[in-house]
Amino acid sequence: MNLRKLNLLLFVILAVSPSFGENKRQESKALVEHALQLSNIRTKGAPAFRLKTTFKVMKDDSIVTEGTYTETWVSSDKWRRETVAGDFRRIEVSNGTEYSNMDNISGVPEGVGETGFRIDPLVFSAEYWKIRRIEDRTIDSLAVRCIQAKVGGNAELCFSQTSGVLVTKGFAASKPSVRAVDSTCAYRDYQEFSGRLFPRVIQCSANHKPMFEETVVELSPEPSPDSALFAPPPKGQGAEHCQGITKPPKLVRSPDPHPVDQRLSPQGKVVLTVNVGIDGVPRELSLVHSAGKPFDEAAIESVRDWRFKPATCNGSPVSVNINIEVDFGGYR
């Protein structure tokens, strides 16, 4: 091949590659948005509902925790969620003006922090993913279209080629500081509810061993819920009320922020204030300092997946508010 033909070939490759990458990004975004439109029962304007599930957490092929999750949802600003497992009880309430939560302080049963049976839109922000591959596959005799991407670790979402609903969601940690775990959740038994398709069963595994299962036992319209449901519950014990020895929360897992458009530059650090509960899960995230909308959104998505060893008061876990900085300065 002469030099002129080689230069022409290189020009064609360079000209086509960015377009091909953009096509993958656009297709990924379309798959995600379609699945959300089909299944998100908590979208703006959706009818009020009552959802009740049973769940079990497994370890070494044995059930270690069983419980129930109940939710009454009116809007994104007005809802009540209750999780019960043995002697443990958690109540979370949003009434449009404030958010409140109450936890037993005797300890959180293993795996309870992962309950809730929610197809979380925050997991699906394909706009900020570094898409690696899109491919067709078969899962349990079902034809699926799968997105593979870099999202802190290595993520994969697979959608039914027939209906478009989410079939599986997988993640593998890639940071040396994080124990390498391949986790996968499968969404099963989709049924119609208020014009949407909602899964009745979710089954999750880690390193090919079952670790979690949740099943819907009730999903029904709730047009006139009792207003007493949305009264703030008693506040749980917090570190600010501790009269003894306190220890701050300790970070144990911190996935990297999602990739942000290479053409953008952060306007300093993203600073968030969060409440770290007695289960080590960050909640009530609010923005203190912005680095620009794409960076703010990427930081918030990442911090929602962080996990802590909770703060303690005289050795007992307590909730505490902390500030978190997410620095994108050396990210690229």
Query: For residue range 20-75, what is the model confidence (pLDDT) as tens digits?
Result: 567 888 888 889 889 988 998 988 889 999 999 999 988 887 888 899 999 999 99
Class of domain 39-223: mainly beta
The mean per-residue pLDDT over the stretch 82-99 comes to: 81
Give the model's pLDDT for residue 20. Answer: 54
Q: For residues 231 and 233, what is the distance between their CA atoms, to the nearest angstrom?
A: 6
Top pLDDT among 235 and 33 is at 33
Compute the Cα dihedral for 216, 217, 221, 227 and give only its sign: negative
Specify the pLDDT at position 15: 45
**Percent of the chain's residues with pLDDT above 90:** 25
Q: Residue 281: is its pLDDT beyond 60?
A: yes
pTM to 2 decimal places = 0.65
Spatial separation of the C-alpha atoms in residues 303 and 122, rounded to whole Å: 11
Q: How many CB atoms lie within 10 A of CB 8?
A: 12
- For the cut 70, the answer to whether the pLDDT of residue 14 exceeds it is no
Q: What is the tens place of the pLDDT at every residue in 129-180?
A: 678 889 999 999 999 999 888 765 677 889 999 999 999 988 765 544 434 4
Residue range(s) of every CATH 3.30.2420.10 domain in the chain? 239-326
Q: What is the dihedral of CA 154, 160, 165, 170, to 10 degrees?
A: -20
pLDDT at residue 244 in the model: 57
DSSP structure string for 62-103 = EEEEEEEEEEEEEETTEEEEEEEETTEEEEEEEESS-EEEEE
Which of 51-65, 147-161, 188-202, 226-240 comes out lowest in average pLDDT?
226-240
328 pLDDT band, cuts 50/70/90, is confident
In the CATH scheme, what architecture does the domain 239-326 have?
2-Layer Sandwich (3.30)
Where does residue 280 fall: left (phi above 0), alpha (psi -120 to 50 degrees), or beta otherwise? left
Tell me the pLDDT band of 311, cut-offs 50, 70 and 90. confident
For the chain, residues classed under CATH 2.50.20.10 are 39-223
Which stretch, 210-219, 287-296, 305-314, has highest mean pLDDT?
Answer: 210-219
Q: Please give the span between the terminal C-alpha atoms of the chain, in angstroms, as a whole number.
A: 37
The answer to whether residue 8 scores a pLDDT higher than 50 is: no
Query: Do residues 127 and 29 touch, judged by C-beta distance below 8 A?
Result: yes
pLDDT of residue 21: 65
pLDDT at residue 1 greater than cutoff 80:
no
Contact (Cβ atoms closer than 8 angstroms) between residue 191 and residue 203: no
CA distances 137 to 146, 162, 168, Å, are: 7, 13, 12
Q: What is the DSSP letter of 36?
A: H
Distances from the Cα of 274 to the Cα of 103, 207, 238, 324, angstroms: 17, 31, 13, 7
Report pLDDT for 10.
Answer: 41
Q: Is 103 helix (H, G, I), strand (E, B) or coil?
A: strand
